Structure 1
Amino acid sequence: MSDANKKNEATEAVPVATAATAIPVAHPAEMAIGMNDQEKQGAKCCFCCCDYRRAVVVMSILRIIFYGNDIISIAISFARSARAYDNIEFWSSRACVYIVVYALFSFCNIVTVWAALKYHICMLSTMVLVILIQLGLNIYHACQLRNHVYWNLAELAESGLGNFLASTVVSTIYNGLYLYPVIGLISEIKNGIMSQETYPREGKEYTVRVV
């Protein structure tokens, strides 16, 4: 074997030392940023209020209170009407229908509070349909009242039409203000923005820092 071949074999047999540079790797626990320290990704209800989840809970509780007040008012009103018109069966049946309907709506709002707290998309989506039904019933009730005024008090027909339009506008705004945060919450849950894990980030209150 020639000297040149021996040198090549010796060179190949000798391991070449390479310089290794240590790259510091942070511990995963150190890299993780707490939800409270992360920037909010979701929107605020009406661009300035609380998060959608909290808005849905607050609106649902307010509607439960309003429906409870309506049930009491209807019971008292129909009781007086029954005495005035001397038709207890007719007015009692109408009172029972309205009371049962409003009680069902109150129950739906209780379920909505639970659905918002549990991030339950299916129940929240069902509540969207319930809100639209409530709006339809409010408009129907206003229409029935307007027809009653028109046929029984023809001289007040114009004011009856005004009351119908005002009632329709108020009902639309009232139900729209409830529908808006429910749809917003459903959207954020579907997009992964709002969840039990991310709520400390999405539900935190911001304060103005003075430098």
Structure 2
Amino acid sequence: MEKGNQQAEVPMHEQAKQGGKCCGGCCDYRRAVIVLCIISLVFSIIGIVNPALSQAFQAEEYPELEQIVKDHNTSLLIIGIVHIVMTVIALVGAIIFNFYLVALYVLWSILNLIISIVLQQQMVGDLLDWVDAQTDDAAWGTTDQDQLETAFNTYMIINYVITALFTLLWVYPSVFLSVEIKKGIMTKETYPREEMSCCCVSNRN
């Protein structure tokens, strides 16, 4: 009985860590999610203020192409705003140890990946249709069009694979954090035990 009392009296920060370590021992999952959310917010805001898809052509000369770009930018803006909101939700969830808020961000990340792929595929189709409509049949044969479509599709497939892998790597700390919160491993009370960082917290190797 005395042994049990002694074990219960061990301060939380001196108890053995029960949760996992993110990125091969870099930090705990809560800290990782907070850092990644802050980084995501910074880049998302920059992306909205200064969209990556700039207008590198004469709008007056190619009004149809301008409309394609505008439509795509509008979709990106909507997705970007929703992503910022969901990232803030995940950040708050990590700070207050809320399972549902963090899990919601995980679901959004998967949905965002699917939506992004669909929107990109639609834009590629619109661009190919525009190129086909603008090119003279005498100078632009079926073979040339097929080669362009193949090049576009190959590039997009590579882009989709890289984006999917990046999304998985980016969201996996949120997955494990939500699991640890759900199991009661990571809570406000147990965080002194679970807290871990390779540079900011001592004695957590």
SS of structure 2 residue aligned to 1:71: helix
Matches of 2:67 and 2:166, distance apart in 1: 33
Question: Compared with structure 1, are the counterparts of its residues 148 and 95 closer, same or farther at alpha carbon in structure 2 (3 Å cutoff)?
Answer: closer
CA drift of 1:172 comes to 0.4
Matches of 1:53 and 1:120, distance apart in 2: 11
8 Å Cα contact 1:52/1:184 also seen in 2:
yes
Which consecutive residues of structure 1, in runs of 5 or more, have no partner in the other structure?
A: 1-22
CA drift of 1:161 comes to 1.8
CA shift digits 1:12-53 (9 cap, x unpaired): xxxxxxxxxxx9x58x68961112211111111233321111
8 Å Cα contact 1:52/1:182 also seen in 2:
yes
In the alignment, what sits opposite 1:73? 50
Superposed CA RMSD = 3.1
In the alignment, what sits opposite 1:13? none
Matches of 2:113 and 2:7, distance apart in 1: 52
How many pairs were matched up? Answer: 185
SS of structure 2 residue aligned to 1:46: coil
CA drift of 1:68 comes to 1.8
CA shift digits 1:83-142 (9 cap, x unpaired): 553467775454333212211111110111001111111112221221111110221133
8 Å Cα contact 2:106/2:175 also seen in 1:
yes
In the alignment, what sits opposite 1:16? none
Question: Compared with structure 1, are the counterparts of its residues 190 and 208 closer, same or farther at alpha carbon in structure 2 (3 Å cutoff)?
Answer: closer
Question: Compared with structure 1, are the counterparts of its residues 63 and 159 closer, same or farther at alpha carbon in structure 2 (3 Å cutoff)?
Answer: same
Return the TM-score normalized by structure 2. 0.75
Matches of 2:27 and 2:16, distance apart in 1: 15
Larger radius of gyration: 1
8 Å Cα contact 2:18/2:194 also seen in 1:
yes
Among 142, 156, 159, the residue aligned to 2:151: 159
Bigger relative contact order, structure 1 or 2 (CA pairs below 8 A, ≥6 apart) = 2
Which consecutive residues of structure 2, in runs of 5 or more, have no partner in the other structure?
A: 133-144
- Pairing 1:1-211 to 2, within 5 Å after superposition: 32-74=9-51, 77=54, 82=59, 85-86=62-63, 92=70, 94-148=72-126, 150-151=128-129, 152=131, 154=145, 155-205=147-197
Q: How many percent of aligned residue pairs carry the same amino acid?
A: 27
In the alignment, what sits opposite 1:10? none
Further displaced range: 189-198 or 47-56: 47-56
Matches of 2:37 and 2:61, distance apart in 1: 36
